[in-house]
Homo-oligomer: A and B are copies of this chain.
């Protein structure tokens, strides 16, 4: 993916990011995390190592950036006709993605190469955006609903805390219980 002639700087910059992210994802599959180096990524992406260092700092920060991109939702949550059904489905999918071996590795990468916390903040913003989409739908249906921060505290936080600090106890029954409670059930 070498930049086309006359490419706008923004356009080129976007293509460099895409090429480097793709190189990292491919090399993670092909050679694994331990064999990954910036020169290897740069060669695969068709850029110079200094381009990678200038833009990402080091390999850990690049891996963190790639991880957050991977954790970005690619679609709005499904509309299943009610707040309860939408939250149940979203929370179950969130658990499946985050608790999977790949999800856990991406969460660790996102936190590890993130000295200032920006990437972790992006992960949380993605979850908040999905919840807001569900809440906006509920509002259009006239359903009463808690606010986004309440759902972050009562559904997202327990799932992420247990993935990182307290394994076990994590299944669909557990997240449905969190949703029931967040919606005012006991």
- Residues of A participating in the B interface, judged by any CB pair closer than 8 Å: 108, 111-112, 117, 120-121, 123-124, 149, 152-154, 156-158, 160-162, 164-167, 169, 178
Closest 10 CB pairs of A and B: A157-B161, A124-B165, A153-B158, A124-B166, A157-B158, A157-B157, A120-B165, A112-B112, A160-B161, A161-B161
Q: Which residues of B contact A154 (CB under 8 A)?
A: 153-154, 158
Do the beta carbons of A156 and B152 come within 8 Å of each other? no
Q: Give min CB distance, A30 to chain B, whole Å.
A: 21
Q: Give min CB distance, A28 to chain B, whole Å.
A: 16
Report whether over half of chain A's contact residues are helix, strand or loop; otherwise say mixed: helix
Do the beta carbons of B178 and A166 come within 8 Å of each other? no
A149, B154: Cα distance in complex, Å: 13
- If A157-B157, A157-B158, A158-B157 touch, whether A111 touches B152 (CB-CB below 8 Å) is no
A160, B117: Cα distance in complex, Å: 14
Do the beta carbons of A156 and B161 come within 8 Å of each other? yes
Q: Give min CB distance, A161 to chain B, whole Å.
A: 4
A162, B152: Cα distance in complex, Å: 9
Interchain Cβ contacts under 8 Å between A and B, 30 examples: A108-B112, A111-B111, A111-B164, A117-B167, A120-B164, A120-B165, A120-B166, A121-B165, A121-B166, A121-B167, A123-B165, A124-B165, A124-B166, A149-B169, A152-B158, A152-B161, A153-B154, A153-B158, A153-B161, A154-B154, A156-B161, A157-B157, A157-B158, A157-B160, A157-B161, A157-B162, A160-B161, A160-B164, A161-B161, A164-B164
